[in-house]
Amino acid sequence: MSCKNIHVVPTHDGWAVESEDGSSSQHRFTSLEHAIAAGTEKAKRAKVDLLIHGRDRQVLERSSFRNESRDVQT
SS (H, E, C) the chain: CCCCCEEEEEECCEEEEEECCCCCCCEEECCHHHHHHHHHHHHHHHCCEEEEECCCCCEEEEEECCCCCCCCCC
Residue extents of the structural domains in the chain: 6-64
Query: How does residue 1 score in pLDDT terms, banded at 50, 70 and 90?
Result: very low
Give the pLDDT confidence of 11-51 residue by residue, as tens digits: 999 999 999 877 667 899 999 999 999 999 999 999 999 99
pLDDT on residue 59: 97
pLDDT on residue 74: 46
